[in-house]
């Protein structure tokens, strides 16, 4: 879970001494079983520094299966934080509607892997003046596949799949199933903070 922070009142310190305009972001690592650990300070000084953040958008910019984040600030720089990931597995799902809208907005995808169940909804808009990619990323931990995957489309259609390998982006078309797969192949990315 990532939270981009920054107070909306630029002189908040004048009325609330313990609150500041620029605030540090918060990043939490999913430990499983509903437990999270804050890891903000482990991400380095630029990441953890207080900012007047206004928006955050997520995407896998280098096709390695790990979500990267772009943070915009009020009157300041934009920051692209490249996720180096780790050694765990992930599975990315891209939906293509036919009866439902073409991007599958509103569809719910449920994944079961190694006995763990998780779900996500495809949605537009994720943060102030920001749009994250519509591809859903599921962290599978040590599991190399999803035993089952179910898509509930806005039209009412339900598609069920089984034994989907990790390490790829799978495109699922409504009522048809898997229409393409793309293995991760990390591309070179030069991440840096850019000026507005």
Do 115 and 179 share a domain, yes or no?
yes
Domain that holds residue 16: 2-81
Tell me, yes or no, whether 118 lies in a domain: yes
Digit-coded pLDDT (tens) for 36-77: 999 999 999 999 999 989 899 999 999 999 999 999 999 889
Do 34 and 75 share a domain, yes or no?
yes
pLDDT at 196 (0 to 100): 39
- For residue 130, the cross-strand partners are 127
Say whether pLDDT at 157 is over 50.
yes
CATH number of domain containing 96: 2.60.40
Say whether pLDDT at 20 is over 80.
no
Do 129 and 162 share a domain, yes or no?
yes
Digit-coded pLDDT (tens) for 69-125: 999 999 889 999 999 877 899 999 999 999 999 999 999 999 999 999 999 999 998
**H helical segments located in 4-127:** 45-48
pLDDT at 84 (0 to 100): 87
Strands 89-96 and 108-113: unpaired
Tell me, yes or no, whether 194 lies in a domain: no
Do 97 and 76 share a domain, yes or no?
no
pTM for the structure as a whole: 0.87
Split into its structural domains, the chain has a count of: 2
């Amino acid at each position: 879970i990532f939270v981009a922070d920054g107070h909306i009142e630029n002189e908040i310190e004048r009325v609330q001494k313990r609150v500041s305009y620029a605030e540090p972001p918060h990043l939490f690592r999913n430990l499983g079983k509903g437990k999270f650990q804050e890891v903000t300070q482990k991400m380095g000084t630029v990441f953890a520094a207080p900012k007047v953040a206004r928006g955050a958008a997520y995407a896998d910019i280098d096709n390695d299966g790990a979500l990267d984040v772009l943070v915009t600030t009020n009157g300041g720089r934009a920051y692209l934080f490249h996720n180096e990931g780790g050694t765990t597995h992930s599975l990315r799902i891209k939906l293509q509607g036919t009866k439902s809208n073409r991007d599958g907005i509103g569809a719910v995808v449920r994944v079961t892997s190694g006995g763990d169940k998780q779900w996500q909804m495809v949605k537009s808009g994720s943060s102030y003046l920001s749009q994250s990619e519509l591809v859903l990323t599921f962290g599978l931990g040590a599991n190399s596949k999803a035993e089952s995957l179910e898509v509930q489309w806005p039209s009412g259609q339900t598609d069920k799949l089984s034994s989907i390998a990790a390490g790829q982006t799978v495109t699922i078309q409504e009522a048809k199933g898997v229409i393409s797969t793309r293995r991760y192949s990390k591309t070179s990315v030069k991440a840096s903070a850019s000026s507005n």
